[in-house]
């Protein structure tokens, strides 16, 4: 079981970062964003596009060639692209819907449509092939009591640092406080002095940037696939719910726990020969949490029924 701990931590950090992003967006806008996975995939696909060598001809129906940039710069650009994408979604799609008083459920269905649309755009342009970042292969090493490659260890560390910084920003900056105020009260009008449209816009941008980062993590650890975001979306929901919807710290811990549980459950005795069902374990836990402790591990008690 312990040999899976390293894998669990890695899956956990992906889900964790993505859950923090989802949770923040839900907290501020009350949107259950089914297209969250597509923003994650965008992070990975954009990085692939920026960093692949110029002669890499798999992408984009041979119509465009990759840019062949330095990998780190590619990652930074990709995160910015995700932020831009999120901002555009808010300005051109979700803000008009909000102004027209479209209900939450209708918006949820819109995000489903958006997810299907964007995901298949990726299929068209990034092909259905499984692809990898242009990085050399590395051997696993043992750190403390888990195994992973040095690169994946870096991913883990970067992920933790990013979340700490994000937590600090949310706690100590004026904007972060405003976001949390909106999230905790559920009332946009509760914040005076800051334009609520701007708060939502910045929430979309930062949530999307975090999601894009999660996508880069996922692609570095595993690979790039057009539907990679949708495959992990339900686990992200599970992480968010487990930690307590609307709490960033909860989403962070919940995401890590879900990742570890998914991977470690492979080693459980009754799971022998049933590795396919590992995600089912996490989803089952999520359902039980929603039914019996809907506020999650860290959430405040709130009536959701």
Question: Is 290 near other proteins (CB under 8 A)?
Answer: yes
**Structure-token pair, residue 30:** 């009350």
Helix H or strand E segment including 148: strand 146-148
The pair of structure tokens assigned to 274 is 């049933």
Q: CA 134 to CA 132: how far, in whole Å?
A: 6
Residue 67 binds to other proteins (criterion: CB under 8 A): no
Candidates 247, 246, 239, 251; CA nearest to 285 is 239
Number of residues that bind other proteins (CB under 8 A): 46
* SS3 of 202-215: HHHHHHHHHHHHHH
CB of 110 to other proteins, least distance (A): 5
- Report in angstroms how near the CB of residue 258 gets to other proteins at its nearest: 12
Window 209 to 238, contacts with other proteins (CB under 8 A): 230, 234, 237-238
Length of the chain: 305
Among the listed residues 55, 62, 136, 272, the single contact to other proteins using CB under 8 A: 62
Q: Which helix (H) or strand (E) holds 181?
A: helix 174-185
Window 8-37: contact mask with other proteins (x via CB under 8 A)? ------------------------x-----
**Residue 294 · residue 304 · CB < 8 Å:** yes
Q: Does 103 bind other proteins (CB under 8 A)?
A: yes
Interface ranges with other proteins (CB under 8 A): 32, 61-62, 97, 101-106, 108-110, 112-121, 123-124, 127-128, 230, 234, 237-238, 241, 274, 276-277, 279-280, 283-284, 286-287, 290-291, 294, 304-305
């Amino acid at each position: 079981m312990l040999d899976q701990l390293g894998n669990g931590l890695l899956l956990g950090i992906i889900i964790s970062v993505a859950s923090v992003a989802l949770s923040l967006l839900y907290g501020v806008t009350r949107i259950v964003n089914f297209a969250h996975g597509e923003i994650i995939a965008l992070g990975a696909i954009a990085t692939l596009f920026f960093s692949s060598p110029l002669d890499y001809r798999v992408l984009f129906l041979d119509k465009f060639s990759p840019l062949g940039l330095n990998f780190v710069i590619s990652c930074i650009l990709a995160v910015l692209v995700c932020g831009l994408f999120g901002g555009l979604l808010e300005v051109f799609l979700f803000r008009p819907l909000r102004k027209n008083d479209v209900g939450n459920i209708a918006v949820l269905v819109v995000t489903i449509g958006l997810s299907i649309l964007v995901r298949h755009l990726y299929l068209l342009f990034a092909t259905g092939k499984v692809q990898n970042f242009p990085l050399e292969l590395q051997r696993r090493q043992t750190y403390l009591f888990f195994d992973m490659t040095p690169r994946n260890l870096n991913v883990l560390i970067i992920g933790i640092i990013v979340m700490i910084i994000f937590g600090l920003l949310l706690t100590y900056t004026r904007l972060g406080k405003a976001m949390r105020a909106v999230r905790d009260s559920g009332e946009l009008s509760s914040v005076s002095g800051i334009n609520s449209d701007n708060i939502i816009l910045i929430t979309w941008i930062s949530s999307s940037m975090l999601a894009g980062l999660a996508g880069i993590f996922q692609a570095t650890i595993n690979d790039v696939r057009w539907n990679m975001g949708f495959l992990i979306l339900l686990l992200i929901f599970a992480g968010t719910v487990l930690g307590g919807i609307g709490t960033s710290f909860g989403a962070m811990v919940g995401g890590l726990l879900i990742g570890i549980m998914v991977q470690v459950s492979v080693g459980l005795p009754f799971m022998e020969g049933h590795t396919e069902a590992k995600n089912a374990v996490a989803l089952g836990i999520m359902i039980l949490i929603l039914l019996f402790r809907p506020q999650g591990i860290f959430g405040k008690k709130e009536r959701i029924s």
